[in-house]
Amino acid sequence: GCVLVVSVIEQLAQWHNSTVKAAVERLCDYIPGKYQIMCHMSRCIDKEMNADVVCHSLRLCKQDPGQPLCHLYSPPKLYPLCELMHPSAFIFLPLQKSFMGFSSVCAFPLLANLCEKIKFVLRNKLPFEDFDGDKFSTFPTLRGYHWRGRDCNDKNTTVYPGRRPDNWDAKSDSNCNGIWGVDPKDGIPYEEKFCKGADSRGVVLLGDSAGAHFHIPPEWMTVTQMSAKSFANLPMAFSDEFDWPQFSEITGFLNSTIGGWTDSLYLRLRKRNRCNHRDLQNISQNVYFPINIAPYLSFSLARNQLLDNPAIVIYATIGNDVCNGERDTLAQMTTPKEMLSNVVQALRYLDTHLPNGSHVILTGLVDGRFLWDNLHDRYHPLGQLNKDVMYSQVYSFLDCLQVSPCSGWLTPNETLRNLTSERALQLSNVLKEIARSEKFANFDIFYMDFPLRQTAEEWRKMGGEPWQLIEPVDGFHPSQIAAALGTGITWQKALHEWPQVLGKENPFNDQIEAIFKDQGGH
């Protein structure tokens, strides 16, 4: 983090031909007030020293005994890192106190309960603000309605998206799809008239950071594009864990503000049947190690087997089972035996909680060799101004720090990249076999490969380049373009091979929109 911030400050000074102090002040003017903790570095930065030098001098970076020296830029020729900038002690102490204070604030008795609630919410992927405890919220972030359909009554636990209507919602909207009341012409409730027998269903994603749509805006570290407007979305991004599920491939519902366009399985299901409005859940998490989804499903999943509509569940942990930042990365990968156990355990739980008539789609793992092949010799946003930082350097820096999102694929070691893809294929084959052989009482089960190859082909036909399908800052996750194109490919496969999954097209959609257009907001 320090290296990124100092790099931006130094490049701001260069781009605007200003002093470092002026560049820091400029950056702090851009960043919303409470996120300015790194703005106290101004006295520690010298144009002659690169970001690695500054951060080691601040002691925010260190070299452990017996470990390599981690650096993003070429090592300086003139200065030993740890002996530079002796005045930094004056800056280090308040900085250290700031960071330590942030982590120890939970020690205060009055805040202890709040901290425990925050930890519980983050661990179990639940809304922080949920007054009735139904796992749905009227607040957008902190796992609110960016992640799940928006609650329309947060004081009534029996009112939430996805449930079957209570008495056909003649008096109020119990399922938050905006359709309620009685037609004065014939006395029939609108929900009964438009949604009865319409095969209403929701969509639930069980995923990883790709499914949550992890994204760091490149304008945050590209000084030629930087302005106060660039950081306007920082508070929202921070409280959504730097995920953007509202634009994601499975549960996106808002027009994208981060490039590309939004197309999602949820939006297509809603267009097919307006009665599906707001019935979405994105239960994904940002981790860089294998995920066993089953243990947290009991806290996270909101589906009542007796009261709610069926759901389409997408099980898509497309990389975590082979991706980790460990030096012995192959030894830390999920084995086929572990994969079988974890997935079957999750499916058995789903069978006891999903309404009858639901569907589960298992998505295979991605072939991550695509990343190195298309990015390693391109300049990272941090390196575009001076042509001095390529993705290969970023990957090596993260790997050295042992925080690489995927040591097996983000590496110059071709043998290791091939072995990682080999394990990914083995695990995909486990999923394929589960879909072929396992049977469950309340849902049928399907398998599809992660459509990276088809997505790249589609994008080439549109005149695009493969590297544009990858998030530019982390060089790892699918971009907004990749997410939107992937949706179309998944939809076409379901339409032709598993039409029962998508439900019927509702012939009353236009009438619903005409009557309830003012109640259709997300």
Indicate which residues carry an active-site annotation. Answer: 209
In 3D space, the residue among 403, 399, 340, 411 whose CA is nearest the CA of residue 372 turns out to be 411
- CA atoms of 144 and 404, how far apart (whole Å): 29
- CA atoms of 370 and 364, how far apart (whole Å): 15
Mark out the alpha helices in 105-202 (DSSP H runs): 109-124, 190-195
Q: Which amino acid is at 1?
A: G
Cβ-based burial of 371 (10 A; exposed 0-12, middle 13-18, buried ≥19): buried
- CA atoms of 91 and 107, how far apart (whole Å): 25
Q: Are 273 and 504 contacting, i.e. CB atoms less than 8 angstroms apart?
A: yes
- CA atoms of 484 and 260, how far apart (whole Å): 8
Scanning the structure block, which residue is given the tokens 């690489």? 404
- The torsion of the CA quartet 195, 489, 416, 470, rounded to 10 degrees, works out to -90
Convert 414-464 into a string of H (helix), E (strand) and C (coil).
HHHHHHHHHHHHHHHHHHHHHHHHCCCCCEEEEEECCCHHHHHHHHHHCCC
Q: Are 361 and 446 contacting, i.e. CB atoms less than 8 angstroms apart?
A: yes
